């Protein structure tokens, strides 16, 4: 299945589309694309936009706790990637992952229910915003320890290769994450063992407040695979089609030739690092320019210009999405909390002697009710 790629080190191109000009260019020729697919990409971007806006609202209403990070501004980066994946592929992400799991086809209600900490949530209320998971759709988790997902994703790619199964693994992360040790160790092994994996780096300009160039000695992140002779590319993360095309190409390289790659998608975070961050460290002019180039609006305009969308279709879509997100919130609101009696459920997959069990959970429930 995974052939050893016969690529001479010298021909391993590092810079396929790192030209800054190309980085701002948008694909507007849709003649080879299926209009229905383009519309569904737009629809998913709009759903992500609306889902995240409402999520921010729900956070301020204290329906959602903990940390909460949004994909606002990154919709093309998210949906472009996801639209290139096959059902057999696996995806690991960081904690900024609501859009990715939405685009993987998981019901918005179950995602919102997880943010609300409900038993009907995708992780049964045990994970929250940063730890979304859906095994059936191979959505292998949001991870909130920076870089924690990288060795794990490499491991799934290892197992795919071990069993000679088709498919690739996408390991999504932020720009800041390319500075952590696990990144370097995992890239080395991915290349060494010829694993079918794409390291998908969302360069949104910042870690939390730290600019890319102040955290990485090599600010052109797609070049960071050179120590491992790993192929790297940079793509305009505001253009879903550019992203999708790049992923489709690298996917085949990873799957058929065992050539892992780095794909850096340049994007912009519209709001603070998390919903509670006012982001005062960014200068106004930069934020204005960043927001002006809105990936959702621009893609809509490009599709309108090409006659693939009409004002009528857009209006109907927007209304349907509004209702879909409202229904997700209703579902989350009306869902039951997890039972305290299930406090220890899922802690171990294989029961063994002396592990905490139902009786300990009943005791915890009694104490929680003040019965002691």
Partner 1 sequence: MPVITYRQALNETLRQEMHRDPNVMLMGEEIGVFEGSYKVTAGLLQEFGAKRVLDTPIAEEGFVGMAAGAAMIGLRPVVEIMTINFSLLAIDQMVNHAAKIHYMFGGQAKVPMVLRTPGGGGVQLAATHSQNFEVWYAYVPGLKVVAPSTPHDARGLLRSAIRDDDPVVFLENLALYNTKGDVPDEADDGDYTIPIGKATIARAGSDLTLIAYSRMAVLAMDIARRLEAEEGLSIEVIDLRSLRPLDRPTIIESVKKTGRAVVIEEGWLTYGIGAEIAATIQEHAFDYLDAPVKRVAGVEVPLPYAKVLERAALPNDKHLIKAIREALYGTRS
Ligand X SMILES: Cc1ncc(C[n+]2csc(CCOP(=O)(O)OP(=O)(O)O)c2C)c(N)n1
Counting contacts by CB under 8 A, is residue 281 touching partner 1?
no
For residues 189 and 251, give the distance between their C-alpha atoms in angstroms, rounded to a whole number: 18
1 part of the interface to partner 1, by CB under 8 A: no
**Sign (positive or negative) of CA dihedral 148, 149, 152, 157:** negative
| Alpha carbons 100 and 104: distance in angstroms, whole number | 6
Strand segments (E) across the chain: 90-94, 139-143, 169-174, 197-203, 231-236, 261-266
Name the one range near Mg ion by CB under 5 A: 39-47, 89-97, 166-174, 326-334.
166-174
Alpha-carbon separation of residue 23 from 50, 238, 282 (angstroms): 26, 9, 22
Q: How many residues bind ligand X (CB under 6 A)?
A: 16
Q: Of the ranges 70-78, 124-132, 200-208, 238-246, which one interacts with partner 1 (CB under 8 A)? A: 124-132
Q: Does 148 bind partner 1 (CB under 8 A)?
A: yes
Residue in 216, 253, 215, 217 with CA at minimum distance from that of residue 233: 253
Nearer to ligand X, 69 or 251 (CB): 69
Interface region with ligand X, contact rule CB under 6 A, candidates 9-17, 83-91, 167-175, 192-200: 167-175
| CA neighbor of 266 nearest in space, from 14, 17, 100, 91 | 17
Q: Binding of partner 1 at residue 117 (CB under 8 A)?
A: no
**Site map (CB under 8 A) of partner 1, residues 19-58, x = contact:** ----------------------------------------
* Between 145 and 276, CB nearer to ligand X: 145
* Contact between 80 and partner 1 per CB under 8 A: no
**Phi-psi region at 276: left, alpha or beta (left = phi > 0; alpha = psi -120 to 50):** alpha
Question: In what side-by-side order are the strands of the sheet with 261-266?
Answer: 139-143, 90-94, 169-174, 197-203, 261-266, 231-236
The residue within the footprint of partner 1, chosen from 18, 23, 188, 301 (CB under 8 A), is 188
Binder of residue 25, out of Mg ion, partner 1, ligand X, none (CB less than 5 to 8 A by kind): none
CA dihedral 29, 33, 36, 40 (to 10 degrees): -80
Question: Which residues sit at the interface with partner 1, rule CB under 8 A?
Answer: 90, 92, 121-127, 131, 133-135, 140-141, 143, 145, 148, 150-160, 162, 181-182, 185-186, 188-189, 192, 345-350, 352-356
Question: Which residues sit at the interface with ligand X, rule CB under 6 A?
Answer: 94, 96, 144-146, 173-177, 202, 204, 206-208, 273
């Amino acid at each position: 299945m995974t052939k050893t790629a016969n690529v001479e080190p010298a021909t391993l191109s590092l810079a396929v589309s790192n030209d800054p000009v190309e980085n701002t260019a948008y694909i507007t020729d849709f003649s080879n694309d299926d209009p229905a697919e383009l519309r569904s990409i737009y629809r998913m971007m709009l759903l992500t936009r609306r889902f995240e806006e409402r999520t921010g609202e729900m956070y301020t209403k204290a329906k959602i706790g903990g940390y909460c990070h949004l994909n606002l501004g990154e919709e093309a980066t998210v949906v472009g990637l996801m639209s290139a994946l096959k059902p057999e592929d696996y995806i690991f992400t960081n904690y900024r992952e609501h859009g990715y799991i939405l685009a993987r086809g998981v019901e918005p209600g179950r995602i919102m229910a997880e943010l609300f900490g409900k038993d009907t949530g995708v992780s049964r209320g045990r994970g929250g915003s940063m730890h979304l998971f859906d095994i059936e759709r191979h959505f292998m988790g949001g991870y909130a320890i920076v870089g924690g997902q990288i060795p794990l994703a490499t491991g799934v790619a290892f197992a795919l290769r071990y069993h000679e199964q088709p498919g690739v693994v996408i390991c999504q992360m932020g720009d800041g994450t390319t500075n952590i040790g696990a990144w370097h160790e995992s890239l080395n092994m991915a290349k060494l063992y010829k694993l079918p994996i794409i390291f998908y780096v969302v360069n949104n300009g910042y870690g939390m407040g730290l600019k890319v160039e102040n955290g990485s000695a090599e600010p052109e992140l797609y070049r960071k695979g050179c120590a491992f002779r790993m192929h790297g590319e940079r793509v305009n993360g505001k253009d879903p089609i550019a992203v999708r095309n790049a992923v489709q190409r690298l996917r085949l390289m990873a799957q058929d030739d065992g050539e892992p790659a780095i794909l850096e998608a340049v994007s912009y975070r519209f709001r603070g690092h998390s919903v509670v961050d006012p982001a005062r460290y960014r200068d106004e002019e930069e934020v204005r320019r960043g927001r002006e180039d809105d990936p959702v609006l621009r893609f809509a305009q490009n599709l309108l210009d090409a006659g693939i969308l009409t004002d009528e279709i857009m209006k109907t879509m927007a209304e349907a999405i509004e209702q879909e997100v409202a229904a997700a919130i209703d579902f989350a609101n009306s869902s039951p909390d997890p039972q305290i009696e299930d406090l220890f459920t899922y802690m171990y997959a294989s029961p063994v002697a002396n592990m905490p069990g139902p009786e300990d959970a009943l005791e915890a429930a009694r104490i929680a009710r003040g019965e002691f």
